[in-house]
Amino acid sequence: MSKTALLFAGQGAQTVGMGKDLATAFPSAQEWFARANTALGYDLAAICFNGPDAELTKTENAQPGIFLVSWIALQLLKERLPALKFEATAGLSLGEFTALTVAGAMSFEDGLRVVRQRGRFMQEACEVTQGGMAAVIGLDEARTREVCVEAGVVLANLNCPGQLVISGEVGKILQAIDLAKAKGARKAIPLPVAGAYHSPLMASAQSKLAAELANLTLNATRVPVISNVSALPYDRPSLISAGLVEQVTSSVRWEASMRYLLAQGFTRFIELGPGSALTGFMKRINKEVQMLNVADGASLEATVKALTA
């Protein structure tokens, strides 16, 4: 019996126009966009559909926008396949909130609002620090950690073999890029981000996020949700808030999270939301599993067809 896990996109997956064709084709998608606008008190749908890019890329818009499009992608898949079953969820960074919401840890409105606030708090932290990030391609974890120690930066994302992300002060990131290339990295390139996510430079966002989460009712999840911090499932609701707060400054252990699910016998993964980065990561981790995604109308139809074959 095949076990299915749902995977949810993180920041960076946003693109102007995301969700627009879904809203045009499906009345229920329009209703979710309208419900989100009401919950937030501003027109997030218009920013997702029309941008401009500079507005959508703002952390406080990108995060709830990706959350919303990812949520709608799943609702439409369930609409088409009412018998759809899944046995676990996981999400990259902000996607962990989507994964938790889908698993029943919090309501849709609470999840959307807290992600919007998380984006605001992280944007504020970016504005008072001079941070940046860089992708390191083709260098193993041990040598990348050496680079981090020598340059005074941290390992932010362990995405898949040969694809790691470092984070820290801008000047130190530039130094780390040179060090990584000297140690044999195929590529080391700065990322177009507002700050040093998943590093100590985001610490000021943690207490604010903790206060927001303290106002939410967090429930036991209906299926296991894999924590970015531990790469293991949350085993009780009381740990969720602490994990989400810790995640702001700690490494995202995505490869380890996927290897945990693979070890548990998962053979089908469905990526929901804009982009297909998580599909790309899985191809580097395990090429044998079935990898599907729903980002727009065409990929929704392809996934429905694959699941009903």
Q: Does the active-site annotation cover 93? A: yes
What is d(CA 237, CA 239) in angstroms, rounded to the nearest whole number? 5
Cβ-contact 227, 243 below 8 angstroms: yes
Which residue in 242, 309, 246, 295 sits closest to 22, CA to CA?
295
Q: Does the active-site annotation cover 257? A: no
Question: Which of 2, 28, 70, 93 is the catalytic position?
Answer: 93
Question: Which of 70, 167, 198, 227 is the catalytic position?
Answer: 198
Cβ-contact 267, 289 below 8 angstroms: yes
Residue 43 CA, chain-centre distance (Å), reads: 22
Q: The tokens 């340059």 sit on which residue?
A: 151
What is d(CA 150, CA 135) in angstroms, rounded to the nearest whole number? 17
Q: What is the DSSP string of the chain?
A: --EEEEEE--TT---TTTTHHHHHH-HHHHHHHHHHHHHHTS-HHHHHHH--HHHHHSHHHHHHHHHHHHHHHHHHHHHH-TT---SEEEESTTHHHHHHHHTTSS-HHHHHHHHHHHHHHHHHHHHTS-EEEEEEES--HHHHHHHHHHHT-EEEEEEETTEEEEEEEHHHHHHHHHHHHHTT-SEEEE---SS-TTSGGGHHHHHHHHHHHHTS--PPPSS-BB-TTTSSB--STHHHHHHHHHHTTS-B-HHHHHHHHHHTTEEEEEEESSS-HHHHHHHHH-SSSEEEEESSHHHHHHHHHHHH-
Q: Hey, which residues are catalytic here?
A: 93, 198
